[in-house]
Structures are given as structure tokens and as C-alpha cells.
Amino acid sequence: MTPHCEAANSMFGLEAQTGMTPPIVSVISSAIESVQQQVVSAALVYTSHERWPLSSTQSLPRSPLRISVLDSSFNPPTLAHLALANAPNPSSPASDYDAKLLLLSIKNADKLLQEGDATLCQRVEMMSLLATRVHHNGLSSPPNIAVGLVNEPTFIAKSSALHGFLGDRLAELTSNPLHSISTQLTFLMGSSHRIYWVCLIQTIPICSMTSRL
């Protein structure tokens, strides 16, 4: 693979950048390389605070932890992406998701990098800027959002990678081993993705889809 941004001096000690400023190029580069080379199943390059996906204010998290996932190519991020990320939880409009994740898959099942496209590094930088504009519980609570990377092309594989990654992360973040936290992921979709899935369901026999899942 050709490098997508400046090569980092080292891949060790990789940590997501926190706060309102976008991550530096070396952090993004290390994360992309780590995920591409399957050193890790997923990586975070930006988090709004160090305890993500846990709340920055609550000591005892709920279980399952409800996390919205906006999975897109972000080429480039648009106002439509922002609207989706800020959309309320349809199953509980009065309460927002516990955490939010902007996700970029390095391996995309439908889209390949074309000449003139934004590089992976540039997309992550733009995603991090977008993350600073995402709300949590309207404007009443501090943001609880992250920007992450995986190297899986399908929703099922992405979900599996994220559940494993989040399980390990939550185990490190929680000091109480008796309090087990599960995660509930909701992948957000725009109208074009919904139309695609309707067409897919109409053209592939149900028994075939079931066997693949």
C-alpha cells in the first residue's frame, strides 16, 4: 500500500488525541498503518475526552452502552453527515445515544480510492473537525464522540471488530471488574443506503442472505 500521509516515527504508544483540536498527522498515519497491517482490529484517532465511550461525568455507566455509528467514506464530510450524526435516537427520542462514533473503513466494499479523491489521512482530519460540531443530548451535555478506523468491508465484520475493540477498551476504563458492560451498536443510514438495502433484499433470496449472515 502507498502511504496516505506522512509516515510516523513509530507505531508504538499510539493514543487517540482528545479535546477540540484535530489529531496530528503522525497519529493518523500510525492508526492507518496499524489497522491496515492488522496490528489492531480497530483504532481511535480522536475522542472528545479520555473516557470515551463512557460518559465524562457519570461514574457508573449503563449496560448496554448505546453507541451510534456513522459509517461512511467521508469523501468529503458534508452537512448530511452532520445531520445524521446529530439525529436523535429513534427508539428513545427523549434520550440521546450514550456515545457516538464516526467510522471510516480503510477497506470499502463498494468504493475504491480514485485519482482526485481525498486521501485517507485527509478524510480523518475532516472527520475530526466534523466531530467537534456533533451534539450530545442537544446542547445540554458535553460531547461524547470519537473518530475511528477499521479495515473491514461489511457491516457484520465491522460490528464484530468494534464489539471486540470496545470490550477491551471498556475493560481497561472500568475499575470495577464485577460491573460488566455490554455495547449496543446502531449503524446510522441515509436514504441512499436504505434504498440500497431494500434493493439488496429484493434481489437476493432470503435463505441466501440468512446463510451468509
Tell whether the model's pLDDT for residue 19 goes beyond 70.
no
- For residue range 67-90, list pLDDT tens digits in order: 999 999 999 999 999 999 998 888
Question: Which residues contact residue 137 at a Cβ distance below 8 angstroms, ignoring those fewer than 6 apart?
Answer: 95, 96
Where do the structural domains in the chain lie, given as residue ranges? 17-212
Is the pLDDT at 11 greater than 80? The verdict is: no
Residues 111, 112, 117, 123, CA torsion sign:
positive
Whether domain 17-212 has CATH 3.40.50 = yes
What is the reported pLDDT for 96?
85
Amino acid type, 144: N
- Which of 5-9, 13-17, 103-107, 139-143 tops mean pLDDT? 103-107
Average pLDDT (146-167) is 94
Indicate the pTM of the whole model.
0.79
Question: What pLDDT is stored for residue 16 in this prediction?
Answer: 64
Between 23 and 176, the more confident residue is 23
Give mean pLDDT, residues 208-213.
33
Pick the range with the lowest mean pLDDT from 45-54, 72-81, 115-124, 170-179. 170-179
